[in-house]
Amino acid sequence: MTRTAPSTAGAPSTAGAPAGAEPRRTVRVELGDRAYPVEIGPGVRHLLADVVAGTGASRAVVVSARPRELVPDPGLPWLFVAARDGEEHKTFATVEQLCLEFARFGLTRHDVVVSCGGGTTTDTVGLAAALYHRGVAVIHLPTTLLAQVDASVGGKTAVNLRAGKNLVGAYWQPRAVLCDTDFLATLPGREWVNGYGEIARCHFIGAGDLRELPVTDQIAASVARKAEIVAADERDSGLRHLLNYGHTLGHAVEHVSGFAVRHGEAVGIGTVFAGRLAHALGRIGERRRDEHLAVVAHYGLPTALPAGLSAEALIGSMRLDKKALHGLAFVLDGPDGARLVPGVPEGEVRRLLAGMGAA
């Protein structure tokens, strides 16, 4: 499994880095007048004041799941609001609380909100920014591998309902994303694995084999592939479905396990399943099917369902998936690459789930 300390050997876009310093990468999400940079590398959080200045804001609210001393000064009058990462906090109640803090501070729609934390923080703060005064600028400082490679980039924001994950949200693109790899130094092992779920699924959606790269390059390559996809299909009407590779079962596993299985872990299981399903439907051969298992295992992710999850509960949850307009739908690999496959027979899904340990 690739889980080295952040390092950036071989990164090409290092212009401007002081001699001896680890290089930084910049990926642009090209969305016309809403285009923005994703800065990746050690110390990029210190670009915050410059990015904030570029918004023209007079004040900022910084919502952070990390201690105040780790948050860089945004360079203008600001309010620090402590947040907590975790699916249980990804609720309407959190969004309402944040908007109340914005209002108490007197934030206007010409000001700026900054998120600093994992994916649940970037999602809730992003949604609060989208809703407050019908939209205020937001900058993300993702602090986990999962948030850096996926959640903070691309403008999707959401909260969970009891009925399922991410069922209510909005598209709200940030002004910039600062993926400071220094934040990753203190991540616990399970949090690394969580992020690697999203990197593993990139292998099957056109990012190439990232297994032997240093982590900064793995992040940059994952973000670059996501940026291309988002630029082509911001509102998820076709191509963007690719980013949900492994997620149909993944979201169901998270939901049915009561979030005992983390998002990236669940995406790993969902990616192995997607390989088996694509093979069972005649879309890929055995070698490609087995590559799914090998890639997921390489990153230290689980490759089978945890004990006790019922196939019926998982299928019921998958029927609620936003892509499932007609029966069960999965993003599956095939002769021309991955694409959304609707109307997948439930019997096949049930059989393969049983083979992966479903009750």
CB 114 within 8 A of CB 143: no
CB 286 within 8 A of CB 249: no
| Beta carbon of residue 79, minimum distance to ligand GLY (angstroms, whole number) | 28
- Count Cα atoms within 13 angstroms, Cβ side, for 250: 28
How far is residue 332's CA from residue 94's CA, in Å, rounded to a whole number? 35
How far is residue 155's CA from residue 230's CA, in Å, rounded to a whole number? 9
CB 151 within 8 A of CB 87: no
| Beta carbon of residue 116, minimum distance to ligand GLY (angstroms, whole number) | 20
| Among the residue ranges 111-119, 172-180, 239-247, 323-331, the one whose residues contact ligand GLY (CB under 6 A) | 239-247
| Beta carbon of residue 37, minimum distance to ligand GLY (angstroms, whole number) | 17
Q: Which two tokens stand for residue 38?
A: 């994703």
Strands (E), the chain: 25-29, 36-41, 60-64, 78-82, 112-117, 137-142, 156-161, 164-171, 176-180, 328-332, 339-344
Amino acid at position 82, single letter: A
| Among the residue ranges 133-141, 237-245, 288-296, 345-353, the one whose residues contact ligand GLY (CB under 6 A) | 237-245
Q: Mapping DSSP to helix (H, G, I), strand (E, B) and coil, where does residue 355 land?
A: helix
| Beta carbon of residue 328, minimum distance to ligand GLY (angstroms, whole number) | 19
Under the binding rule (CB under 6 A), the answer on residue 150 touching ligand GLY is yes
| Beta carbon of residue 342, minimum distance to ligand GLY (angstroms, whole number) | 18
| Beta carbon of residue 156, minimum distance to ligand GLY (angstroms, whole number) | 4
Size of the site for ligand GLY (CB under 6 A): 6
Whichever of 8 and 317 has its CB closer to ligand GLY, that residue is 317
Q: Which of 119, 126, 154, 268 binds ligand GLY (CB under 6 A)?
A: 154
CB 344 within 8 A of CB 293: no
How far is residue 264's CA from residue 246's CA, in Å, rounded to a whole number? 10
Whichever of 145 and 358 has its CB closer to ligand GLY, that residue is 145
Amino acid at position 129, single letter: A
Under the binding rule (CB under 6 A), the answer on residue 240 touching ligand GLY is yes
Q: Which of 45, 90, 156, 165 binds ligand GLY (CB under 6 A)?
A: 156
How far is residue 214's CA from residue 212's CA, in Å, rounded to a whole number? 7
Q: How, if at all, do strands 328-332 and 339-344 pair?
A: antiparallel
Whichever of 74 and 169 has its CB closer to ligand GLY, that residue is 169
Under the binding rule (CB under 6 A), the answer on residue 243 touching ligand GLY is yes
| Beta carbon of residue 218, minimum distance to ligand GLY (angstroms, whole number) | 16
The residue of the chain with the least Cβ separation from ligand GLY equals 243
Whichever of 256 and 267 has its CB closer to ligand GLY, that residue is 267
| Among the residue ranges 24-32, 83-91, 236-244, 310-318, the one whose residues contact ligand GLY (CB under 6 A) | 236-244
Q: Which residues bind ligand GLY (CB under 6 A)?
A: 150, 154, 156, 240, 243-244
